[in-house]
Amino acid sequence: MRNLSDREVRTITAIAEVLVPQDGPFPYGYKDVDITGFIEDFLSHTPFRVKWFVYLNLWIFEYFSWIALMSPGIFSRMKFEKRKKIILAFRKNKYFAIRGIYLFTSIVLLMAFYNDEKVMDSIGYYGYKDGVNKIK
Amino acid sequence: MIVDSSALATDFHETADAVVVGSGAGGAPMAFALASAGMKVYLIEEGKQYDISGFKRNSWKVMRDMYRDSGTVLTLGVPSIPLPLGNALGGTTIINSGTCFRTPENVLSQWKKQSGLTGLEYSRLIPHFETVEKMLGISDATEETVGANNILFAEGAKKLGLHPKPLPRNAPGCKGAGLCVFGCPNGAKQSMEKSFIPAASQKGAAVITSARVEKILIENKKAKSVSGSFRDGNKNKRGIFRIDAPVIILSCGAIYTPYLLLKNKLANSSGQAGKNLHIHPAAKVVGLFKDKINSWSGIPQGYYVDDYAHEGIMFEGFFLPPTFLSFALPAFGMDLKKYMAGYCKMAGFGIMVTDTSRGKVTVGIDNAPMVFYSVNRADTEKIKKGIEIASRVYFAAGAEKILVPLLGFDEITSPEELKILHEAEIKPSQLELSAFHPMGTCRMGDNPKQSVVNSYLETHDVKGLYIADASVFPSSLGVNPQVTIMALSLWCAENIIKK
């Protein structure tokens, strides 16, 4: 069963690009991992209230996150730097409810990315790979 | 006999001498003790039985299946705190770190002073501690298995004159897979489904999984029966059950036990059910080192430092696979990727405080429990002090940088910067915490106006209805609670059997 709409997928991709950019010290980014697929799986295993919270968070990000900078716009259509500033403003917001939105969204997206086998390998985590710890 | 409800009729009605609801640290020893005394016992568990012998390293799959709400339980308050709970045969013991402390004697004395607790003496608990320790094979973590993460912190702690010690654990034959909180892949950790539950089953207890208790029926102020629904693989209802018994023991933990009482409007003449929630708020401090440590290998929670336990601050090792460490770090984007690129050079230790903050559990939307908890100023000060000490330890151990869970102090690059933190006034809203030990929501005491159960863990209001889990603690325990829960459960069982 499909849990995410096209609009929600666009929002997720726009957030993921900021949270796990393509460049950087190891060769994988948001484009290399099926983040949307992970979230679909996550949603299919969570109770209604958690799903509802995910949908609400994505909706807030898409249509109302501009309030953090007081510069109107649709999140998924904003330039990268503006999206980054918004996410930073959410993370450091003095209102815990707004930080909660960041916290919850980032938990799901970061789990999706760092749970990927090739990402784990690339940062040197071989814990229990093939059933044993392989320290390299 | 351990049976999944899918193997039972869709309309199941039985009678028994006792029904135990919940198969975690409270329920499993209870079922074992009652069955050993020859009683006909049903042990009912909402979660499933999992076989993790084929487990590789996809810790997300474990979290998705074995954690309640896939690990997304959060407290509502300032700050909001993740509160992972188990939802499987064995309860939270299957996903805990395996740390095993007896109840501190001073804490029990304080509980007696505060709540009376007639008959409950430390000396009366000792035989139960011994039973638990024998059954779980509790012994200290060894240097061979604790891994570099714990050794490093211990070296730094010693340089500061502190006294690190190996933690007592229930994992004989531990191979240091480093994945205790995702179910031990080697089967070394003696969580309930490996210890008390098979033993209870051998003594004749009937264990039913995928069965959720929803109603508790009473008659003339006496326990009569429990009823609920069987769940299929997708947690949808597939049948109903009812078990009549004069003795009902709730062991669903400090969130779901008060929730059941509140939902059934039971045993709450004191108004205390669901109140007085404590959670041992915990902060993670991460040290970044020049060389590889590979902290992911070895027991994550292997050593502890209790030099500040008298102030309510405990230090215990922690480390996590990247899937979960990534969102515990105070960064995102390129900064986070830079930190994660140095994953193998990180070390982690946790600070756990004996909290004076109090939260509550209520029945919320979606007919599910809601957990409210805000950290007070006094606990914030303790957490801040703990972070400072852990940071000093890491600098003494040679760390180049420290990542701390305090908004505004994400990265500390020198011991001098710690002075700024020391001078700063930290607000609860700046804390980025987690918590693992909910307790206190059906506290025990002699006074029925101020407590839910008496010192024998029987509810003041309903004869034959008992509570055996961390919800009976009158205050925050200060150490990992599983052994205390098990010993109190055996104490409760002893008194049920005597009756």
Q: What is the DSSP string of B265-323?
A: T-S-TTS-TT-SBB--EEEEEEEE-SS---TTSS-SS-EEE-TTGGGTEEEEE----HH
From B430, B422, B437, B274, select the one nearest B353 (Cα to Cα): B437
Whether the per-residue pLDDT at A67 is higher than 80: the answer is yes
User: Among A93-107, A111-125, B23-37, B442-456, which stretch is predicted with the lowest mean pLDDT?
Assistant: A93-107
Q: Who's near A42: CB < 8 A, 6+ residues apart?
A: A54, A108, A111, A112, B64, B70
Q: What is the pLDDT of residues B51-93, one digit of tens each?
A: 876 666 778 888 888 999 888 898 999 898 999 999 999 999 9
Rounded to an integer, the average pLDDT of B4-11 is 90
pLDDT at residue B59 in the model:
82
Answer whether residue A16 is part of any domain: yes
ipTM over 0.85: yes
Answer whether residue A134 is part of any domain: no
Whether the per-residue pLDDT at B449 is higher than 60: the answer is yes
What residues of B act catalytically? 437
- Mean pLDDT for chain A? 91
**Confidence tier at A128 by pLDDT (50, 70, 90):** confident
Q: Name the CATH topology of B2-68+83-96+101-137+191-270+441-498.
A: FAD/NAD(P)-binding domain (3.50.50)
Answer whether residue A75 is part of any domain: yes
Interface of B with A in 175-214 (CB under 8 A): 176-179, 185
Judged by a CB distance cut-off of 8 A, whether residue B237 touches chain A is no
Please indicate whether residue A34 or residue B65 has the higher confidence score (pLDDT): A34
Rounded to an integer, the average pLDDT of B275-282 is 98
Contact B360, B275 (CB under 8 A): yes
pLDDT at residue B56 in the model:
65
- The count of structural domains within chain A is 1
User: Among B34-43, B64-73, B127-136, which stretch is predicted with the lowest mean pLDDT?
Assistant: B64-73
pLDDT at residue A45 in the model:
86
The angle, 0 to 180 degrees and rounded to 10, between the axes of the packed helices B377-396 and B143-159 is 100
pLDDT at residue A46 in the model:
86
Q: Which residue has the tokens 């709730």?
A: B250
pLDDT at residue A47 in the model:
84
Which of B72, B297, B408 lies closest to A127 in CB terms?
A: B297
**Confidence tier at B396 by pLDDT (50, 70, 90):** very high
Please indicate whether residue A131 or residue B45 has the higher confidence score (pLDDT): B45
pLDDT at residue B367 in the model:
86
pLDDT at residue B346 in the model:
97
**Confidence tier at B334 by pLDDT (50, 70, 90):** very high
Residue B388: count of CB within 10 angstroms of its CB? 18
Measured CA to CA, the distance from residue B204 to residue B40 in angstroms comes to: 7
pLDDT at residue B387 in the model:
98
Q: Please measure the distance between the N-terminal and C-terminal CA atoms of chain A and give it in whole angstroms.
A: 40
In chain B, domain spans: 2-68+83-96+101-137+191-270+441-498, 140-182+281-353+376-432
Rounded to an integer, the average pLDDT of B196-205 is 98
pLDDT at residue B375 in the model:
97
pLDDT at residue A135 in the model:
63
Rounded to an integer, the average pLDDT of B289-306 is 96
User: Among B183-187, B227-231, B273-277, B397-401, which stretch is predicted with the lowest mean pLDDT?
Assistant: B183-187
Judged by a CB distance cut-off of 8 A, whether residue B26 touches chain A is no
Q: What are phi and psi of A9, to 5 degrees?
A: -65, -40
- Retrieve residue B319's tokens: 């480390």
Rounded to an integer, the average pLDDT of A101-119 is 93
User: What number does CATH give the domain B140-182+281-353+376-432?
Assistant: 3.30.410
| Closest chain B residue to the Cα of A53, Cα to Cα | B72
Rounded to an integer, the average pLDDT of B367-384 is 96
Q: Structure pTM?
A: 0.95
Whether B57 sits inside 8 A of A25 (CB atoms) is no
pLDDT at residue A2 in the model:
59
pLDDT over 70 percentage in chain A: 93
pLDDT over 70 percentage in chain B: 99
pLDDT at residue A96 in the model:
76
- Give, as one character, the DSSP assignment of residue B83: -
Judged by a CB distance cut-off of 8 A, whether residue B365 touches chain A is yes
Q: Which residue has the tokens 């990180």?
A: B346
CA angle B174, B176, B177 (to 5 degrees): 110
Q: Suggest the residue from A57, A111, A113 to mutate for an interface test with chain B (most B CBs closer than 10 A).
A: A111
Q: Supply the range of the domain harboring residue A90.
A: 6-122
Q: Suggest the residue from B237, B326, B410, B429 to mutate for an interface test with chain A (most A CBs closer than 10 A).
A: B326
pLDDT at residue A129 in the model:
72
